[in-house]
Amino acid sequence: MPSLKDAFLTHPDTGPCDIDVEKAVKAFTVKTFISKYDGEYTLVKTTHKRNVVLKARISSEHAEALIERLALVESKDPVFAKASTFRHPDFKISMNNYTRKKPGE
């Protein structure tokens, strides 16, 4: 299986990166998502502990192609009206990392 890093064709200092959509489709996992804010798309890959491994702006054409090909599910942000996230349909939020400890534990 190809790495998501292999899908990137260009890495400009400013502006969106060029990607190979076919390679990105093959490398997309449940830990990968597309973030949209105010018309700009960002491709993000995280680890199992939700640490960001890769984060890069991509063009709206590439983002829309990935969203369509992978049938990603959009979730709107309740705080930011212009923000949404597109995730893999099999993505499930795990609450294990969000448990609070009582003082003294």
For residue 23, pLDDT over 80 is answered with yes
CA dihedral 63, 69, 71, 74 (to 10 degrees): 10
pTM over 0.85: no
| Mean pLDDT confidence for 7-34 | 91
In the chain, the percentage of residues whose pLDDT exceeds 90 is: 50
Q: Do the Cβ atoms of 31 and 43 come closer than 8 Å?
A: no
| Mean pLDDT across the chain | 85
Each as own residue / partner, the long-range contacts of residues 43-47 (CB below 8 Å, 24 or more positions apart, any chain) are 43/4, 43/19, 45/4
| Mean pLDDT confidence for 34-47 | 92
For residue 51, pLDDT over 50 is answered with yes
